[in-house]
Amino acid sequence: MDLKNLVLTPPQMRTAELAASAHGVSVSKLMDNAGEALGRRILYAAQQMMKKNILLICGSGNNGGDGYVAADFLLASAASVTIVTCGLPKTDLAKAAFAKVTGRCEMITLEDAVEKPELIDHAEIIVDCVFGIGFRGELPHELQRFFMRCTLSSAYLIACDCPSGINCLSGRISPGAFEAHETLTFHKPKLGMLMSPAKEHCGRIEVADIGIGDYIDEYAKVTIMRTDAELAASFLPYRLEDSHKGIYGRVVMVCGSFTYPGAALIASEAALRSGVGIVNLCTHIKAVGGAAERMPECTYTPVDFDEKGFMTEKAADAILKSMERAGAAVIGCGLGKTEGTEKLVCELVRRAKCPLIIDADGINCLSAHIDVLKEKQTEIILTPHPAELARLCGTDTASVTQDMFGHACEIAEQYSVTVHAKNTQTLTVGYNTCYITDFGCSALAKGGSGDMLAGLIGGLMAQGIASDRACVLADYIMGTSARALCKELSPRGVLSGDIIKRFPRTFYELEHGLWS
């Protein structure tokens, strides 16, 4: 496994440190390495920006210890250093590091520093070494005030390992969290640092090697990888010149209703642009003519609807017949949530033999009968946004946003499914692997984006791409297409149809290594 894109949760980082210790790298050595790396980074920034007055804010734990080691390095390099102490050191390692700098530079307590605004005014580089990756909750009020002054200053702001006040698991932040221009994190980036709003507080993220080996088998059950263009390109299947539509699969779309007819069209159009050989839309007989006029490339299967314009369980046999020759099926976009659609979704989950991508109303129909997933005969991808994931987990949206990774893992593990948990940053959790993607933009903050994504995932999966890889590749193609359009157009007016038309160009760029 290529580990250059590896991301860790805080518990995984703790396990990595223990693994390093078991392999002969002591915790003391890790602190020395971290502190020296931080000191070198600060010194480099000072030299590059021609700054000299450095203010370190050190906490009482090992993050503060890293700061004291950095101060020792800087003082040995004749730098001008002042330290603000947020309590006396509590750990043995931090106490030892503190002792090495005591009496060699000005030290002032946080309580006194708050009353001396000139301290921040005089500083040209301010370094946050207060709280580390295990932080939860809210910062002390006094520290919030001090950090706010740092933010308003003209100093260059650096965070040690992570900005104080961010949750390195969920990406949530405390009021008054430190806002860094850059963060020097150790060994690997942490999951929460890549997720909003914490991401915006980290600034540019640099990673320092502190001597922890890649003991990947000892981290945890789930390996987290950050997605980039190179990784997405590696997921593209090879396309033969001498080929025909049958080679590239068939995807069935179980989408739409009289209330939401557009969702089926958007999802089907996205699937058409995925490279799949055949797209088959299951719809009402009266809707076939209009849909075919807009999408002549599709094939159509007429199915039963009720008098209010929603599919019913009576449609199951015709849909399953269509699925017999399919490589994947997309269920839920614009389907509506009625007694009939709930029964239909459950029946399809029980009887389908081809992989299923369940989105939107498909998830809403499933959430009240989630144990039906234990009766499935095939792979299933669930594509929930936070509110839908909350329904699947039987909790509230606030709980999900506090730990989207944990909730996605819970559903993925309990029901042996792939969960593509959508948010500003998206987590794709499958068997033993999680991918984090960050390709979105405000052009996607509109109705139809989820339908577009589901259709694209279905089209890719029908071509034989593994479920988690299909999700990651779809996220990249859709997000990169949207971002490319926004270089020329306002995101206010970019619609799903515009983005779908850009898919072929984005595929071309990915195939030919033309990403920036």
DSSP codes joined into one string, 287-333: GHHHHHHH-TT-EEEE--B-TTS-B-GGGHHHHHHHHTT-SEEEE-T
Average pLDDT taken over every residue of the chain: 96
Which are the contacts of 474, defined by CB distance < 8 A and separation ≥ 6?
Answer: 274, 453, 456, 457, 460
Angle at 461 between CA 456 and CA 464, to 5 degrees: 145
Give pLDDT tens digits for 1-59.
Answer: 567 899 999 999 998 898 888 889 999 999 999 999 999 999 999 999 999 999 999 99
Give pLDDT tens digits for 217-268.
Answer: 455 567 899 999 999 999 998 898 999 999 999 999 999 999 999 999 999 9
Give pLDDT tens digits for 375-410.
Answer: 999 999 999 999 999 999 999 999 999 899 999 999
Task: Please report the domains of the chain, with CATH numbers, ordered by start residue.
Answer: 6-220 (3.40.50.10260), 229-237+245-511 (3.40.1190.20)
Give pLDDT tens digits for 139-148.
Answer: 999 999 999 9
Torsion of CA 76, 82, 87, 91, to 10 degrees: -10
The pLDDT value given to residue 295: 96
Mapping DSSP to helix (H, G, I), strand (E, B) and coil, where does residue 383 land?
Answer: coil
Written as six digits, the tokens of 445 are 């903050």
Give CB contacts under 8 A, 24+ apart, made by 364-372.
Answer: 364/332, 364/337, 364/388, 364/391, 365/332, 365/335, 365/337, 365/341, 366/392, 367/391, 367/392, 368/342, 369/342, 370/415, 372/346
Q: If you ran DSSP here, which 8-state letter would residue 375 be given?
A: G
The pLDDT value given to residue 219: 52
- The closest alpha carbon to 481, from 510, 461, 460, belongs to 510
Helix (DSSP H) and strand (DSSP E) numbers for the chain: 20, 18
Reply yes or no on whether the pLDDT at 330 is more than 80.
yes
CA dist., res. 212 & res. 208, Å (int): 10
Cβ atoms of 411 and 392 closer than 8 Å: yes
- Give the bridge partners for 88, in sequence order: none
Written as six digits, the tokens of 58 are 């050190």
- Give the bridge partners for 6, in sequence order: 225
- The closest alpha carbon to 5, from 422, 403, 409, 435, belongs to 435
Q: Which CA distances in Å does 183 have to 54, 117, 208, 373?
A: 16, 24, 10, 42
Which are the contacts of 394, defined by CB distance < 8 A and separation ≥ 6?
Answer: none
* Axis crossing angle, helix 449-462 with helix 496-511, rounded to the nearest 10: 40
Give pLDDT tens digits for 278-323.
Answer: 999 999 988 888 999 999 999 999 999 999 999 999 999 999 999 9
Q: Are strands 125-129 and 106-109 parallel, antiparallel or unpaired?
A: unpaired
Q: How many whole angstroms from its chain centre is CA 266?
A: 24
Mean pLDDT, residues 162-186 taken together: 98
The pLDDT value given to residue 402: 87
- The closest alpha carbon to 129, from 80, 82, 189, belongs to 82
pLDDT over 90 for what percent of the chain?
92
Give pLDDT tens digits for 64-87.
Answer: 999 999 999 999 999 999 999 999
| pLDDT band for position 216 (cuts 50, 70, 90) | low
